[in-house]
Structure 1
């Protein structure tokens, strides 16, 4: 399929050249090579990889917890009441729903990974595309291919590779932007007493909001632990009751013997 697309494209180029009676100017770039030599891209990729690793670890931890719940239920089902079985099954179902929700949140079509990649990587890709358009306009190229894309290149002559030109343009633009930023940066003025008080008030409100949020989380967690402790207490009572009944039955059986 890819070779077919390339042959069709080359046929169009030849046809266009014959019609216009002038050769088409063609160049290509290696996008992977360019991005690997842009420090901002490597930094962005490392940031993205770290986030993805953190999300996957969180999902793996939750998945393992669900498996533990399933194993516990299977081992204890024979001694649990119907209500306790339903409670444990409900807990497993809720955890499974949470796992699916997090998977979609992190790795869905419009999930956090997609948004973070767009936020981190797209501006750098835009730099490359802008540099390609600039070089193509200056050198009057009719077509610029990406060697690392899906369009298969059966042969490429190095003299048509403008990847280093693109890198140079990106570096030049970066230096210009840094110079502009340096010129526009002014020393910070000393805050007035009123501004300091306003900042202190804002910081205090933020601290209070954070403390309230942590207290709410602790309350929810304490309630969850209490509920689990109550379930465990009921299970223990049930086990003790069954053990007492078994002991009594064994005693009666022994007395009859």
Structure 2
């Protein structure tokens, strides 16, 4: 769906009459997010919840394993009715563990909801900055270089990443000067975002 929308937008740009030329730009949101303290804090919180829920699930299976070993050690001493009761108890524990795992890590589970909650604030900050830059620079379209569709070539003069970062209070110049000393996320096109934000469009 995103690719179809992107194609439609490109057609609108290409087919626009010269007298009504449309102005467009792009932003590398992946690079912007990687430099946002708010985003990094959210990632840290998500990791904490992931670790906690993973441990909870692991503890449940450790308990099940202990119960299984106890049952195996005592099985010879149990009556048939007692064996069935123990087996039902083990099956119930296993079912509860599976259900809890699905509740946490399943489709739109607790982890998904927590990510959505924690990422809302930084995403809204970036969106507001993009909207403001687009209005200030009189842009008709603003594309995301980090989105699903592949941008095979990007002219740096259409790159508005620096403006968005400045709107967010991030020092783009200092970020670039240190970018070579730390891993920088790759975009869908395979280029390093730091190398594509060298020239500001006017």
TM-score, length basis structure 1: 0.59
- Whether the 8 Å contact between 2:13 and 2:21 is mirrored in structure 1 is no
- Whether the 8 Å contact between 2:61 and 2:97 is mirrored in structure 1 is yes
Partner of residue 51, structure 1 = 49
Report the CA distance between 1:77 and its aligned residue. 3.7
Moved more, 31-40 or 91-100: 91-100
Secondary structure in structure 2 of the residue aligned to 1:141: coil
Extract unaligned runs of 5+ from structure 2: 171-202
- Whether the 8 Å contact between 1:5 and 1:151 is mirrored in structure 2 is no
Distance 1:95 1:13 in 2: 59
Aligned residues: 170
Partner of residue 171, structure 1 = 169
Q: Where is the helix percentage greater, Structure 1 or Structure 2?
A: 1
Change (3 A) 1:35 1:3: closer
Partner of residue 199, structure 1 = none
Partner of residue 23, structure 1 = 21
1:60 aligns with 2:58: yes
Larger Rg: 1
Extract unaligned runs of 5+ from structure 1: 173-257
Secondary structure in structure 2 of the residue aligned to 1:121: helix
Distance 2:96 2:11 in 1: 54
Report the CA distance between 1:76 and its aligned residue. 4.6
Moved more, 3-12 or 128-137: 3-12
Distance 1:44 1:3 in 2: 29
- Whether the 8 Å contact between 1:41 and 1:124 is mirrored in structure 2 is yes
Distance 1:2 1:166 in 2: 22
Partner of residue 132, structure 1 = 130
- Whether the 8 Å contact between 1:2 and 1:152 is mirrored in structure 2 is no
1:13 aligns with 2:13: yes
Secondary structure in structure 1 of the residue aligned to 2:149: coil
Root mean square deviation of aligned Cα: 2.5
Change (3 A) 1:133 1:4: closer
Partner of residue 36, structure 1 = 34
Change (3 A) 1:24 1:127: same
